[in-house]
Chains A and B, each alone.
Chain A
């Protein structure tokens, strides 16, 4: 099956710093989503981005489908950005998605 790898596994930054999180996938996909899991466990969908670039406030994402990777950018980090960021890909019409193991981001005040 398709493999989804996220890097780095852990990232510790000071408030105000910028960060780039990466998601590599091993096969063509027709669905790619980024999620944020906050410290209380809640999962929030950030982007649906099987290709191209999107921006939402301080967050933006780019997927280069032909090269099988996606990047999530967080600018001017805030402590509320802490948590785990997951990439999830879908690769068939069955609508299943496969999650990566996540990047744990800690923003220090």
Chain B
């Protein structure tokens, strides 16, 4: 079984709809991240969390919110989706014991019409 899972893997939604992307991990890592990737570009950090009570904004947090429900779960919400949020979204985990090596989930392809 994969260590970092994301659901759904693909999603099509309409402008203005609220959607949630979910991430779960079995690695036991404290740190979790959400990134987005646009075609031809690298990944940009949306939000990150160092533990259940810690949430931090990344480079591009506007239009997004997150929830760290448990050590193993980190959800990303788009409160009112817009077309320029169409992208590939990745969840990742890391741990100080592994020198912050990042482990990525398989990604969620989101299309906002």
> Using a CB–CB distance below 8 Å, which chain A residues touch chain B?
4, 31, 33, 35, 41-45, 48, 86, 88, 90, 94-102
Indicate which residue in B40, B56, B100 contacts A31 across the interface (CB closer than 8 Å).
Answer: B100
How many interface contacts (CB-CB < 8 Å) are there between A and B? 55
Kindly state whether residue B58 has any CB partner on chain A within 8 Å: yes
What are the residues of chain B within 8 A of A99 when measuring CB–CB?
Answer: 35, 42-44
Dominant secondary structure at the A interface: strand
CA separation between A90 and B101, bound complex, in Å?
Answer: 11
Instruction: Classify chain B's interface size.
Output: 20 to 34
B41-60 interface mask toward A, CB cutoff 8 Å, 1 = contact, 0 = none?
11111001010000010100
Task: Tell me how far the C-beta of B41 lies from the nearest C-beta in chain A, rounded to whole angstroms.
Answer: 6
Binding site for A on B (CB under 8 A): 31, 35, 40-45, 48, 50, 56, 58, 88, 90, 94, 96, 99-104, 106-107, 109
Among residues of A, the one whose C-beta sits closest to the C-beta of B94 is A95
Contact present for B42 and A86 (CB under 8 Å): yes
Verify B90–A43 contact, CB threshold 8 A: yes
